[in-house]
């Protein structure tokens, strides 16, 4: 398969414990096997500066506006120095979380003002490659949807929790509602995967979301991540 010349931007979302990581790695391998160059990255983070901001956001207490400004500052640096150049080169960008996480965590979880987040989104994601007023969004967002109580049980034995992982189940219920609102507002961009299933079945859902759109050729085997 020859590499298409247009870039592809895919983000992965879900509450902590939803189990994104192995599937992101699996998709990276699947795209590479089909001749694509893959940029595998994450938010907050993905650049030296943004990784410093990530450490602050995950480790230090702060008010929700400060938190929102820091995740968007990290996003701007990441978008301008990593994501946009990779898309311009025609690569597949797989990003572990993007702006929907801000609407879900800061908007839903923290209850921070959504209009302010939308303003920041327009400022940060307006990029020269797009026509005036357009905002960079993923071509597809794969949302691993899992009940908050199930995710909490999965995380119970995990390493020391960060500021978000330490939140109660009720916080994650608000985060889920935040994701649901984003998915309802932009349904064509979202693929909701029921993550409360065996890993192999979740993987099939992930692959199907890509093959349906013609962005990944059918895989030889159902071999998961």
Provide the binding-site residues for ligand TYD, judged by CB under 6 A.
16, 43-44, 71, 96-97, 101-102, 105-106, 164
How many CB atoms within 10 Å of residue 150? 15
Minimum CB separation of residue 103 from ligand TYD in Å reads 8
Minimum CB separation of residue 187 from ligand TYD in Å reads 21
Distance, C-alpha 208 to centroid of its chain: 18
Which residues face 96 on adjacent strands?
12, 42
Minimum CB separation of residue 115 from ligand TYD in Å reads 17
Identify which of residues 97 and 182 has a Cβ nearer to ligand TYD in the complex.
97
Q: How far apart are CA 182 and CA 101, in angstroms?
A: 10
Identify which of residues 164 and 215 has a Cβ nearer to ligand TYD in the complex.
164
Identify which of residues 43 and 84 has a Cβ nearer to ligand TYD in the complex.
43
- Residue 200 burial class via C-beta count within 10 angstroms: exposed 0-12, middle 13-18, buried 19 and up: exposed
Q: Which residues contact 220 (CB under 8 A, 6 or more apart)?
A: none
Minimum CB separation of residue 4 from ligand TYD in Å reads 27
Using alpha carbons only, what angle is made at residue 40 by residues 73 and 174, rounded to the nearest 5 degrees?
A: 55
Identify which of residues 102 and 125 has a Cβ nearer to ligand TYD in the complex.
102
């Amino acid at each position: 398969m020859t590499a298409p010349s247009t870039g592809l931007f895919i983000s992965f979302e879900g509450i902590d414990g939803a189990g994104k990581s192995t599937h992101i790695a699996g998709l990276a391998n699947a795209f590479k096997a089909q001749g694509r160059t893959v940029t595998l990255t994450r938010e907050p983070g993905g650049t030296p500066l943004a990784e410093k901001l990530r450490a602050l956001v995950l480790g230090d207490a702060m008010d929700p506006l400060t938190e929102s400004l820091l995740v968007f500052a990290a996003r701007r640096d990441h978008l301008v120095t990593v994501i946009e150049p990779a898309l311009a080169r025609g690569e597949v960008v797989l990003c572990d979380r993007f702006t929907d996480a801000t609407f879900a965590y800061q908007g839903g979880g923290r209850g921070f003002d959504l209009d302010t987040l939308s303003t920041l989104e327009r400022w940060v994601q307006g990029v020269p490659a797009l026509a005036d007023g357009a905002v960079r969004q993923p071509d597809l967002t794969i949302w691993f949807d899992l009940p908050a109580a199930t995710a909490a049980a999965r995380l119970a034995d995990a390493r020391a929790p960060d500021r978000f992982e330490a939140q109660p189940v009720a916080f994650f219920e608000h985060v889920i509602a935040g994701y649901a609102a984003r998915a309802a507002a932009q349904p064509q961009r979202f693929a909701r995967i029921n993550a409360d299933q065996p890993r192999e079945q979740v993987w099939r859902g992930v692959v199907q979301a890509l093959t349906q759109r013609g962005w990944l050729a059918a895989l030889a085997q159902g071999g998961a991540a």
